[in-house]
A and B are shown apart, each in its own frame.
Chain A
């Protein structure tokens, strides 16, 4: 199929009124733009980032519980499951933050990828975006992607300092902290939904029916 490749590129160049690939100086300029990755217009944000994140999350039918410290997370998970009348069984990502918590013996925890029959998963997040109320999860050994999509209920443990203002802040963090692009980056903004039947919004199309964030303040 290299024939097709050459012909498409040649046709593009013909349309751009060029005969070959870009000249050195032009291509250098474009390399430089890629390296500089300029930020364009960003929406102005007012007020506290965490408050904005929670209100945006709630506007898209997500829920949030605030706790004062990491040590309060296990109780918050159990409380949520009890309040929703869900069995005390979760599949959990093997992220160190979650692994180090003092989970009660009453909560059955499995650490693996998600399966069809799983009701509830618990994961951390890479970041969260105040602008949109989005959670950002990146795939990896400690955060397999199936946990984000197969269960009925997805619980995300998020530390307050992980909330950034704009989407672009996630890209800066990604370039700073990760050696390479992960296989998958998920921006998750509320539970799964569809409006394909008579324009009526219905939650829980194929992904989670509920998205619950436990926001750790301290």
Chain B
């Protein structure tokens, strides 16, 4: 997918004025936040599990080459194949080639964020394959020709009315003329339509929530059952997974599973947690005849060596999105690429370049909620600040802002001058604004006053108020 991250400000402005989107976001936020909290309150061991999970993931990352090689050898021992891709382009080429060799016509897909990252659908369609997304949310946005707006709820930005219209437009070709408006009927229509795709697909492509080095298994965590029909019915099962998904053992993945569903949807366990290991065995009656895993790097091996290593702990639960005031206000599409919210604001600049995505790390109030709710305790606020520092160092910050920061830094390094200058400005503004109590326009602060008033300050600065209070308390 081509990045539109550079247009964050414009897209956010549009999103803030989109009434349907605002309704959908408000609905989503309360649902996710409350359910997560209830699930975590019900598990006294949550904090200990979180520590154990971070520790085992850090251990895995510190020996990532060993665990990937072990994973590869176990997949091969079970008759599967492992392919390595440095870039999205390499990953796409591998998947297209596998589908060609399978003489595939129709391909079903389970939801996969790495699939979005490498833009595999576009490549497969360009190569002439029919690609059907089977997760209900992904199916909806595939019909709408939109990218996902949330990593676990890709169609969270769509209202029911919009889905009714999409289905009406696209399902007429199956002889379904009636508009379905109730949720059970909408879900049932998707079930009927997609059943045909499941049963006639030649290749099924899924992602992986985890890879297990001990066994060579890939793990998917789902609720709908579409992932299982995708990895069981077609002749060929292809898994696209990024290299940091590996964990050592079945016991290790168990610890991660106890955190994932609770943090994502507030479930203790998703409906289906499935371990796939190699193709069908000699006496199996069903299952795919071929099993392929495509391991995608796309900059992760480099992140392993810099200050963003902890980002590789991420298990894609979406908790940081659900608790982010910025995400909750503008939704996922404003971020302009595959990943949104706090985790997206770190990953996108690292994957598509800071010059393209420099606005994202700045779209953050540094309130720290994302790290608090992160089951892997990823220091997202620190990373967002680090990206801001890089932005400044690489001279990507606009000249006016650099100049402003330069002036501020000059003053801040001279406390006496800072006190005098700020007191003078406050006195002038306070006097000018006393009558109305606010400013509708201020020179140099147009960015602020365009959308809201600036309250008029009191006559004293914080520093002078502090000094007075301090003096009074002394004996």
Contact = CB atoms under 8 A, between A and B. Distances in A.
SS class, residues of chain A in contact with chain B: loop
A39 interface: yes
A146 B271 contact: no
Interface residues of B, number: 107
A30 interface: yes
Interface in B262-309: 265, 267-281, 283-287, 295, 297, 301-306, 309
A207 B272 contact: yes
Contacts of A56: 268
A61 to B, nearest CB: 9
Contacts of B426: none
Nearest to A140: B284
A16 B65 contact: yes
Of A14, A146, A196, A198, most B-chain CB atoms within 10 Å:
A196
A8 B285 contact: no
Contacts of B116: none
B78 interface: yes
A9 B228 contact: no
A155 to B, nearest CB: 16
A192 B284 contact: no
B223 to A, nearest CB: 5
B62 interface: yes
Contacts of A183: 276-281, 284, 287
Interface in A1-56: 1-2, 4-5, 7-9, 11-17, 21-22, 26-27, 30, 33-34, 37-44, 56
Interface residues of A, number: 78
Given A37-B251, A41-B48, A199-B28, A194 B232 contact: no
A96 to B, nearest CB: 15
Contacts of B254: 40, 166-168, 171
Given A12-B64, A22-B65, A194-B224, A44 B275 contact: no
A145 interface: yes
A4 B86 contact: yes
Given A34-B214, A140-B284, A7 B225 contact: no
Interface string A110-143: 0011001000000000000000111000011100
Contact of B223 (A33, A149, A187, A205): A205
A99 interface: no
A53 to B, nearest CB: 12
B325 interface: no
Contacts of A186: 228, 272-274
Contact of B184 (A15, A44, A144, A202): A202
Given A180-B78, A187-B273, A205-B223, A198 B84 contact: no
Contacts of A11: 297, 301-302
A81 interface: no
A190 B65 CA distance: 37
Contacts of A4: 84-86, 90, 297
Given A12-B64, A22-B66, A207-B226, 5 more contacts: A4-B84, A4-B90, A15-B306, A145-B232, A198-B27
15 contacts: A1-B90, A1-B94, A8-B243, A12-B68, A30-B67, A34-B214, A40-B56, A41-B52, A43-B44, A185-B275, A186-B274, A187-B274, A195-B265, A197-B136, A207-B224
